[in-house]
Amino acid sequence: MSTGKLFAIVGPSGVGKDSVLAGLHDALPQMHLVRRVITRAPELGGEEYDSVSVAQFETLKNDGAFAVHWGAHGLYYGIPVTVKYQLGKGTDCLANFSRDALAEAAEVFPRLTVLNITASPDTLARRLTARGRETKAEITRRLSQADKPLPDGLDVIHLPNDGPLLETIARGVALLQPARV
């Protein structure tokens, strides 16, 4: 059996990563949806995650609990090392990722495909405001980081999400199926 593939979902804040991920996982339940560890207060929505304190995150990191970890938006994020077990038994995985962590991910995961979700700046601003998870100042900060280049040399699938979510998910499923071979 071959190793599973990790699909790293990236894109600017508000582009729809969590929404697309949830829809892809509903359509492709045989894939493993990675549950991240985040130093964010619990149950703020968007995704299911394990909420930990900064001290707990440090302990987990030092214990080798993360395959990859990064800091962004004043928070720390960890991809649990258990993802390697899923990949090792041939299960393809979906994970919400940071564009800044992709170069490291390419070293850690032998089979990595980036799913790059895009939308116009206007769409991003509208969606972040409607989501209401962050303050106005935090939203402005996130929008200022919308344009970030991806590292060269990665396998990248581009998925625009300006239109209806269900259409994006249907296109995403169609793009993922051949990529999973």
Which residues of the shown chain bind ligand PRP in the complex (CB under 6 A)? 10, 13-14, 17-18, 46, 72-73, 77, 96, 98-100, 142, 145, 148
Residue 158 binding result from ligand PRP, ligand ADP, none, given CB thresholds of 5 to 8 Å by partner type: none
What Cα–Cα distance (Å) separates residue 53 from each residue in 37, 47, 60, 69? Answer: 10, 18, 11, 15
Q: Min. distance of Cβ 21 from ligand PRP in angstroms?
A: 10
23 is in an annotated binding site: no
Instruction: Work out which of 36, 139, 168, 176 binds ligand ADP, going by CB under 6 A.
Output: 168
Separation of alpha carbons 168 and 38, rounded Å: 27
Separation of alpha carbons 130 and 165, rounded Å: 15
Where do we find the tokens 């985040």? Answer: 38
How many whole angstroms from its chain centre is CA 114? 9
16 is in an annotated binding site: yes
Task: Kindly report the number of other CB atoms within 10 A of residue 19's CB atom.
Answer: 18
Q: Which is nearer to ligand PRP, 91 or 104 (CB)?
A: 104
17 is in an annotated binding site: yes
18 is in an annotated binding site: yes
Tokens of 138: 């935090």
Give the number of C-alpha atoms closer than 13 A to the C-alpha of residue 38, restricted to the C-beta side: 20
Yes or no: say if 151 and 114 are a contact pair by the CB < 8 Å rule: no
Residue 116 binding result from ligand ADP, ligand PRP, none, given CB thresholds of 5 to 8 Å by partner type: none
Strand partners, 37: 50, 78
13 is in an annotated binding site: yes
Contact code string over 119-158 relative to ligand ADP, x by CB under 6 A: --------x--xx---------------------------
Q: Min. distance of Cβ 1 from ligand PRP in angstroms?
A: 30
Residues in touch with ligand ADP (CB under 6 A): 11, 13-19, 46, 127, 130-131, 161, 164-165, 168
